[in-house]
């Protein structure tokens, strides 16, 4: 404590606050880099994995008690695909959270069908793909049996899901709706190399 009679050495501020060890370390090393949290989708896109991923994303963001923006999330993907409904559940959650934090997607080994949209849905500029990863796009598929009106209703639903898929993939990539429709009209699985995935805007860079 300094009294009115104490002399303050020249150049020293009597009101200067002492730094904590943490503040001294930050001053020496610079600001602490943002924490990166990791999630992964390995295997089929099904209801169980969709639930796990959505709850995980919320746990790393909304449930932390902190305010946005949140630290980035790394999302590793290796899948043959799966349910279109569960794909859209994960995709919608990613779309909601991207306004609050970056989502870095990384495709490894195989990113096919539903996985293609999820890889593309990462934050632009933060979507990576392994050099040996294969990407696959195909038309929505489903099986149906029973009365004719039920089959017709199922076909109508499939067409609607495919339209949603085309619109979403077009939003997230360099491909137009017409380009995607042309690929799907081949009625075969369309395989892309890592280089082609970057060219089409499904990913941004190849991991060497």
The set of catalytic residues is 113, 138
Note whether 101 and 61 are within 8 A (CB).
yes
Compute the residue count for the chain. 208
The CA distances from residue 26 to 20, 34, 69, in Å, are 10, 13, 21
In contact, 166 and 181? CB cutoff 8 Å? yes
Q: What is the DSSP code (8-state) at residue 81?
A: -
Please check whether residue 150 is in contact with residue 102, taking contact to mean a CB–CB distance below 8 angstroms.
Answer: no
């Amino acid at each position: 404590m300094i009294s009115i009679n104490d002399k303050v050495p020249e150049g020293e501020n009597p009101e200067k606050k002492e730094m904590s060890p943490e503040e001294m370390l930050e001053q020496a090393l610079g600001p602490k880099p943002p924490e990166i949290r990791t999630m992964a989708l390995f295997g089929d896109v099904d209801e169980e994995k969709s639930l796990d991923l959505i709850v995980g994303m919320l746990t790393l963001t909304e449930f932390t008690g902190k305010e946005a923006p949140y630290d980035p999330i790394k999302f590793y993907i290796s899948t043959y695909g799966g349910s279109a409904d569960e794909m859209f559940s994960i995709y919608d959650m990613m779309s909601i959270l991207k306004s609050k934090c970056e989502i870095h997607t990384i495709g490894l080994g195989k990113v096919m069908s539903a996985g293609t949209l999820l890889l593309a849905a990462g934050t632009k500029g933060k979507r990576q793909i392994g050099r040996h990863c294969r990407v696959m796009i195909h038309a929505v598929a489903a099986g149906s049996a029973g009365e004719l009106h039920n089959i017709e209703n199922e076909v109508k639903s499939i067409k609607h899901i495919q339209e949603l898929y085309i619109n979403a993939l077009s939003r997230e990539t360099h491909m137009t709706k017409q380009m995607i429709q042309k690929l799907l009209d081949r009625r075969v699985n369309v395989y892309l190399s890592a280089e082609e995935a970057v060219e089409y805007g499904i990913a941004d860079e190849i991991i060497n």
